[in-house]
Structure 1
């Protein structure tokens, strides 16, 4: 007989079986499906996605020389490695969706499916899944989460317009704290991918109160500090680096935060300077920082450079190169050294060596790489011509020596070099400079007479501190190895091959070695004899050989003058080179052109001297093209032959432009333009403007197009130039819609003072008169002008121009603020006032972005001027 317990158990089993049905919506059924969907399908799918995310993050290599990435970049090759995890995640999420369609975890499971497709880079299906969740879900937070995932997906797929649309849509809703945090991070990543650090840091600073430990807040604080440091807000950068340290981040982030904190410490007293130096030394002493020594020394060099301590900066950058093995840091240290020797010390030979090393070490995507490469090319050409002069002069001097005297000189040079090497050997054993190139002991001659130490006692010891050794090393290397390709293990690749025939780094700089040598050939037993043989073959003995050597020197002096004048912008050195050429080679064929260039150089700084060169040119070379230009400025315009030459150069420049070689193209066009005005000149000018669009800021490009249109109103090319200008404006407007209005942070240029008032107040005439009176009383010497301009249907602008410098602009605004209470015309009226550069005014007037500029003004100008 069955008791009551049996029937109770039977009822329970029937209830459970009924709850398993996906069609039931009873409380029991819902509880069963919610529990099963959550702890079976959804839970395991989420764990698989976490595994994938961990794999993606762990594979990311941070580059601390740049702003760290907020999110790791996805890679299709890597995605194949975690494909099984992706498929398992989709499978488990699908079980929760299919078997428990009435549970509350269906939408969340779809989100996991979308994430899985995102990480597998299946963009189309990922987007469709997130859109489906947004459309079908009844939970507002889940809908918002789906759209935020869409933002990340569109950003990763570089569909920035769609990402912006998704951002605009989702931020209109009321978001939960979690969704708000995720949206701000997604927006920051969206702006980072487009290079917009300003908007990126705005979103990151807004998200900081919402961050939790799982979000790695220390890393985000560090990124904010990096951005502020890059934008020039060093006090803000310091604060965020400090906040980063307070979170106890992973060691590498901790190290770089401490390093950059020392870099951005505000220096107001020598005590603060010493404190910063002490912090650098403390980092060096920490044994855990051994692998970071190169970076520490590099940052020490940057710090000392800011303090105008060039000697210490040079030492620190050199130690950075010696201490580490990070190729990028080496490249940046080389670059800094090259910049110092180029811009400050004007030692172009040393600068060339450093720029050459920088180009070999830096990646091609390094910021400003094209400009670095262009300067390196100029310096290579400069040093090539300088070495030609030195070497050929040395050979001519040795041509007067007999064999015994020549051998004695070589022997003396060799012994001097050997003594120097021996005296430095003990230092090198303790600390060898890994960038030093030990020259072949057979070569005892420098390429000229300038063999002195350049940078104190240690300079001759260090390869790049000794121009003679540097030239000698380069010459000897190419004599033995030839012009081999730069690559790792270059010796090994040529071990069994014979050396190439010798090539000189400059014309005639080294001899052609007719003997075939292998890469592994030992040094000769008698280095003095070997060097004697090498040099003796190069010495010009006959009149014809001496004439050839002198011609090389003549050409090199002329090339040096042009490099100084046109590329290095060193007019004084250009004059010296040109005059040296005229003095050493009074019959030179270059004289007419040199006289014309000297006339141009002195035209604005010394008219009397300029006229003397012009008179000499017209008297001595009356039939030269350069004299004809002086006599008749329209000469080249009337010369069809010159126009044909310009067309040839134009074609060369255009072909280079088509191949993306913009710098070389510009050089060809400059050469054509230097021939003077012809009927073809407008073509050259417009092509240079088009090149500017590829190499310069868009505002400069638009300004150049506008100037071309104004100066060539009747030219047939003007119609095309207008089309280019319209297209550029359209493109810029579209970009500004995507990125937001971007004002230019360049303030050392003329400013306007702007007073913005409502059209309905009818204040234009009154404000103009008031400001003219104000200018007369306070800034009479500037002779300022006042004008009115309609901004839009709501506002009118009253402008005062032109304030020649930012200091005048700030003084004007400050005085206006102080005198405001006395300006009765403005009482009872609302208005805005600010100063603005001409470039920013163009952006402001085009975009009508009053609120945006007021924010920009508040952030970038001193508070007392606001």
Structure 2
């Protein structure tokens, strides 16, 4: 009879045998599978997943949200950030690989591959990430895992901006039945795909479909907030309100909570005065909350937007100004300046103030701000407007001063200076404005803005009772004299203080600060009023010639103002006023024929009788002018080379704007040229308008306009150029369509060809073949490589070297070719392309003739050092 001890020993031995046999990676017994599944899951896969979670946490924590824009659904990836978590990437790949290699029959192999793909994705190794996800889709026996891999492909293609491939992956995966988890993830990836392309409509459709499936780890509050932002942007304010409310119900992080409450007040449905007051109360409550101290500028900005919707302009202006005073956020300042500029431009028509605010907006807003080019264009128009307006004011002031004696002039300047000092005294007790606020009233450094070089040209107002004019010298006064006490006889007190100060020049121990202070004191004039008098006195026109020059500046400025009102600001009434003022002040002006013609055009439709009066005056007084002849014969300008020359000058300016990307300004100047009438140069204007259209509108509309131009001008030399543009545009569209259909294979381990592409017209086939044979003999003799020639198309010939057995051999061959290229004299002075390509990809390449597409593929998927 066997003893209990021996029985236990036998059982223990059997158990060890079973466990050891289960450890074999080749076993597929129930015991073996249970062992490998458990070990793969809780060792390699588990630790790899934890590393990926750490990486994702780092990526999310690095993101800085800009609440002035729609928040990103996912953080942006960049190479600098990726370097910081490179060790975690390598550890994740290592642990997932252990699970794959040691437990190849476990059910966690596919999941481990997905983790490897994610690690490659976060390291920005797009090619390997894509190959890994494709491998899982191809090899995995589990349909849900296949779908998960393709969904990861969608994200990878989106990040790499391969939108056509991302769309193809979306179309493929959504055909099959998806688990709830995969369905949710696909909707989120599709939303991100559309966000990256600026398609807010499709983005919000996918996000709203995903909301019922969101878990806590998906940050639902943030997603609800993004949906609210999109609906608010699209104009669906009631929907925006509902989603902001849903966001708050999730108790999100404080910053999201704050902005949700702020935007909720903005989109509250206003139907009664009670609702208006409730919204205002919400804003005031946010202002009073001490936790919102750093957000006061944003709150005041949104209050201004709200009041603007209620058409309460005084309060809107006050709130936008408070936003600027309270703020430290330059972007919010820029948006507040922009809103103020828009109000003064579009509603109040106060273009001087509008110009100042637009100028500040351009300085504060980032260049990637939405609509920046249009804002810049309007600012340029306003700058030109204010320049001419201030020219009139300043030259009139100088002419008025020409009639004063020196005593009266000095008294006038001293009066202005004392008024400025009184204003400074009055504001001394007020809280100082924050440094980040731009002074809208003036940007001058003198008591009077005289339009000297280095200032706003010809700017400033001589009318001393105007508070704006009286404040012009305030900043210069403080720069020269410091923040001195406001007291009577202040200059005398400075002199007495100076008299009792020891002679600093006798000491050798002056500090750099003291030296700087002495230099500043030495640079300051002893009497700023005297200095201002001397400066202004130099500009006063005293001779008849100087006075005529001043009057000419005023005359030109009135004419320019009329044109700006008419063509750029579209203010016909103000244009009429400017033109008539010019005619009244300067009866002999050389501009009279052109002004009469423009006045005729302005009133031709609205007041035919008045228009006829201007036309009659033009034909009677200037019968031989181009403008009178145009009224008599509308076709006259076609034959008028003089007008065509004027149009050419305007065209040059417009073309410069076009080259600089200032399309709106280019179009405005073209309209000025077109307003001169139809001439032999008109087709040039029309074609440039079409080129601008190609940059700013749909390509189909661009092609249509080119076609119409060709029909309208069949005999014009420009038609040939228009035909080339049209053909190039169509070719571009065809290539875009071809890019969508050509799909090269990313598996690169098979044998390769080396290909050299050269132009058929160069007749290099025999030369290149001989050169490559000699190259092969000198550098790769043992491989016994062969060369051959093939015709690609009517333009290119291919010279092939085959076969390079592995990708490593192909890379070595291409690198050696690059190194030896300077010695290959046969290729000098010839353009060519060279690359390596797998046999499968060569079949696709030769069939589709997709040279440009393969060159892009080669650039993305092969090492940079061989390209």
**2:41 counterpart of 1:12:** no
SS at match of 1:427: coil
**2:304 counterpart of 1:291:** no
* Contact 2:247-2:257 at 8 Å conserved across structures: yes
Offset of residue 648 of structure 1: 5.7
* Contact 1:439-1:473 at 8 Å conserved across structures: no
Aligned pairs for 1:629-778 within 5 A? 629-643=630-644, 646-647=647-648, 649-650=650-651, 653-654=654-655, 656-696=657-697, 701=702, 704=705, 708=709
* Contact 1:160-1:738 at 8 Å conserved across structures: no
C-alpha separation in 2, matches of 1:414 and 1:650 = 47
Higher mean C-alpha displacement, 229-238 vs 622-631: 622-631
Larger Cα-atom Rg: 2
| Closer/same/farther in 2, CA of residues 680 and 367 from structure 1, 3 Å limit | same
* Contact 2:597-2:614 at 8 Å conserved across structures: yes
Aligned partner of 1:90 among 89, 93, 98: 93
Aligned pairs for 1:553-592 within 5 A? 553-592=554-593
**2:447 counterpart of 1:443:** yes
C-alpha separation in 2, matches of 1:602 and 1:229 = 43
| Closer/same/farther in 2, CA of residues 371 and 697 from structure 1, 3 Å limit | farther
| Closer/same/farther in 2, CA of residues 238 and 521 from structure 1, 3 Å limit | farther
Match of 1:271 in 2: 274
Offset of residue 473 of structure 1: 7.8
Task: Give deviations 1:614-671, integer Å, cap 9, x for gaps.
Answer: 2222222222222222222222212345445545654554454344343443345334
Match of 2:119 in 1: 116
**2:363 counterpart of 1:350:** no
Match of 2:551 in 1: 550
C-alpha separation in 1, matches of 2:464 and 2:372 = 32
Aligned pairs for 1:455-470 within 5 A? 460=467, 466=468, 468=469
| Closer/same/farther in 2, CA of residues 60 and 609 from structure 1, 3 Å limit | same
* Contact 1:439-1:469 at 8 Å conserved across structures: no
C-alpha separation in 2, matches of 1:441 and 1:164 = 59
Aligned pairs for 1:241-390 within 5 A? 241-390=244-393
C-alpha separation in 1, matches of 2:521 and 2:118 = 58
**2:603 counterpart of 1:599:** no
Higher mean C-alpha displacement, 663-672 vs 280-289: 663-672
* Contact 2:420-2:473 at 8 Å conserved across structures: no
* Contact 1:298-1:316 at 8 Å conserved across structures: yes
* Contact 2:325-2:433 at 8 Å conserved across structures: no
**2:224 counterpart of 1:211:** no
Structure 1: stretches of 5+ with no match in the other structure? 454-459, 461-465, 481-516, 740-866
Match of 1:615 in 2: 616
| Closer/same/farther in 2, CA of residues 654 and 342 from structure 1, 3 Å limit | closer
Task: Give deviations 1:167-226, integer Å, cap 9, x for gaps.
Answer: 011001111111000000000000101111111000000000000000000000000000
Offset of residue 358 of structure 1: 0.3
C-alpha separation in 1, matches of 2:597 and 2:272 = 53
* Contact 2:355-2:382 at 8 Å conserved across structures: yes
Offset of residue 730 of structure 1: 9.6
C-alpha separation in 2, matches of 1:59 and 1:356 = 34
Match of 2:184 in 1: 181
Structure 2: stretches of 5+ with no match in the other structure? 451-459, 482-517, 741-867
Offset of residue 431 of structure 1: 8.2
| Closer/same/farther in 2, CA of residues 727 and 137 from structure 1, 3 Å limit | same
Q: How many residues align?
A: 691
* Contact 2:445-2:472 at 8 Å conserved across structures: no
Offset of residue 160 of structure 1: 0.7
| Closer/same/farther in 2, CA of residues 70 and 652 from structure 1, 3 Å limit | same
C-alpha separation in 2, matches of 1:203 and 1:519 = 64
Task: Give deviations 1:813-861, integer Å, cap 9, x for gaps.
Answer: xxxxxxxxxxxxxxxxxxxxxxxxxxxxxxxxxxxxxxxxxxxxxxxxx
Offset of residue 682 of structure 1: 2.0
C-alpha separation in 1, matches of 2:727 and 2:268 = 46
C-alpha separation in 1, matches of 2:443 and 2:737 = 56
C-alpha separation in 2, matches of 1:429 and 1:654 = 47
C-alpha separation in 1, matches of 2:344 and 2:35 = 77
Task: Give deviations 1:401-444, integer Å, cap 9, x for gaps.
Answer: 11111111111111122112211221235989943378788615
**2:235 counterpart of 1:222:** no
Match of 1:126 in 2: 129
C-alpha separation in 1, matches of 2:404 and 2:559 = 29
Task: Give deviations 1:735-787, integer Å, cap 9, x for gaps.
Answer: 99999xxxxxxxxxxxxxxxxxxxxxxxxxxxxxxxxxxxxxxxxxxxxxxxx
TM-score in terms of structure 1 length:
0.75
Higher mean C-alpha displacement, 352-361 vs 598-607: 598-607
SS at match of 1:637: helix
Task: Give deviations 1:317-370, integer Å, cap 9, x for gaps.
Answer: 000000010011000000000000000001000000000000011111111111
Offset of residue 590 of structure 1: 1.2
C-alpha separation in 2, matches of 1:475 and 1:610 = 51
* Contact 2:567-2:672 at 8 Å conserved across structures: no
Task: Give deviations 1:120-177, integer Å, cap 9, x for gaps.
Answer: 1111111010000000000111000000000000111111111111001100111111
| Closer/same/farther in 2, CA of residues 648 and 357 from structure 1, 3 Å limit | closer
Offset of residue 533 of structure 1: 1.5
Task: Give deviations 1:793-830, integer Å, cap 9, x for gaps.
Answer: xxxxxxxxxxxxxxxxxxxxxxxxxxxxxxxxxxxxxx
| Closer/same/farther in 2, CA of residues 311 and 518 from structure 1, 3 Å limit | farther
Match of 2:534 in 1: 533
C-alpha separation in 1, matches of 2:222 and 2:470 = 47
Match of 2:64 in 1: 61
SS at match of 1:426: coil
SS at match of 1:297: helix
Aligned partner of 1:397 among 394, 397, 400: 400
Match of 1:505 in 2: none
C-alpha separation in 1, matches of 2:256 and 2:521 = 46
Offset of residue 49 of structure 1: 0.8
Match of 1:411 in 2: 414
Aligned partner of 1:104 among 104, 107, 124: 107
